[in-house]
Amino acid sequence: MSPRLHDPTAPPDTVCADTPGPPWVSCITIADLAPVLRRGCDDFRAHPLIGATVGAFYALIGLLFVAVLQDRSLLPLAVPLALGFALVGPFAAVGFYDISRRREAGQPCGWRHLFRGYRSPDTAAVWTLGLVLASLFGGWLAVSAVMLNLHLDGLGSEGTPLALGHTAAGWSLVAFGVGVGGMIAGLAFALSVVAFPLILDRHVDALTAAAISIRAVVSNPGPMAGWAVLVAALLALGMLPAFAGLIVVMPILGHATWHLYRRTILH
């Protein structure tokens, strides 16, 4: 345990958010992201079979999406669906947070702990926040589908999904979609970046966890933006080739998120 956690009555020197008491939000820097990712890799190496198996499951989901999108009428929904990995990823990685937590505490880790985070005493909070993320994803898909249909209706009988890239209106639609998707992704990130680990660690409710997560992002805009970009880049790489990279990327990011939480939230 870090020596700065020894005094339960006074905020540590690194606190950067004005709060009445613990948990406090610590000031972090871009330099903190490298050791966070490195510790995530260490946790993955300690339990590679568990991580790779779960990662393979999500890779199979990605391949299923590709199979569905072979229908050309659904092709423009590829980007919104890919964004779903980032939106619901924090919920999907709950098992990795708990394994990292147990490993850090010197407790035994195994398959039976992979789903512990989804069960009591944290069931309500974890699933409530997960439902919020799923709702954001569903809303984003609905908006994307409506925008696509409106654009194709405007093209009349010549309208096809592939026509998006051949008209100025199509490119405007793509730009608008990217903007809306970015805002939704940003909201999901702020709500959840440290919320799920906080729920597992301190058994707080979903609203409290989300509020503290937002405070952590607002208090550390640069490092958190850097983490968001890093997550997006690694997930994008993980989708190549044929989503195989997710077998490694998903567990590493999940474990690393626990260590980001430990550096950012102080009790």
State yes or no: pLDDT of 120 exceeds 60: yes
Please determine, for residue 5, whether its predicted confidence score (pLDDT) is greater than 50: no
Determine the average pLDDT of the residues in 187-214.
95
Residue 2 lies in a domain: no
Domain for residue 216, yes or no?
Answer: yes
Does a structural domain hold residue 3? no
Contact residues for 133 (Cβ-Cβ < 8 A; gap 6+): 87, 88, 90, 91, 188, 191, 192
| pLDDT band with cut points at 50, 70 and 90 for residue 169 | low
Q: Is residue 204 part of a domain?
A: yes
User: Is residue 1 in a domain?
Assistant: no
Q: Calculate mean pLDDT across residues 93-101.
A: 94
Q: What is the pLDDT of residues 204-248, one digit of tens each?
A: 999 999 999 999 999 999 999 999 999 999 998 998 888 899 999
Residue 192 has pLDDT above 90, yes or no: yes
Tokens matching residue 214: 């937002």
Tell me whether residue 9 is in a domain.
no
In a domain, 233, yes or no: yes
Range of the domain at 128: 26-108+115-266
14 found inside a domain: no
pTM listed for this prediction: 0.86
pLDDT exceeds 50 at position 7 = no
Domain count, the chain: 1
- 70 class by beta-carbon count within 10 Å (0-12 exposed, 13-18 middle, 19+ buried): exposed
Range 150-167 average pLDDT: 57
